[in-house]
Amino acid sequence: MKDLMHYKNYYGSLHFDDDDLIFHGKIQFIRALVTYEATDAKGLKKAFEDAVNDYLDTCHSQKITPEIPFK
């Protein structure tokens, strides 16, 4: 069983909230707080990839160097 997703050299956590019945996570191994959530596993994978792309786009538009995961 994997507990991390990988996309464009970034890693994302996987958690399930039994009370709210949602999956959620955050990009790991960087200082910036980037989170995502979805109602199913496929949606979580897409939300993670979208979050990574949004993070990189935001860094680019603000002329900030994206953090490189330290794993």
* Count of other CB atoms within 10 angstroms of residue 6: 13
Mean pLDDT in order along the chain per 10 residues (71 residues): 89 95 97 97 97 98 95 56
Q: What is the pTM of this model?
A: 0.92
Residue tagged 């955050």 (tokens)? 26
pLDDT at residue 71, rounded to an integer: 56
pLDDT at residue 26, rounded to an integer: 98
- Domain-wise residue ranges, the chain: 4-61
Closest CA to 45 of 12, 1, 2, 8: 12
pLDDT at residue 2, rounded to an integer: 76
Contact 4, 23 (CB under 8 A): no
- Model confidence pLDDT, tens digit, residues 45-62: 999 999 999 999 999 999
Contact 12, 26 (CB under 8 A): yes
pLDDT at residue 3, rounded to an integer: 87
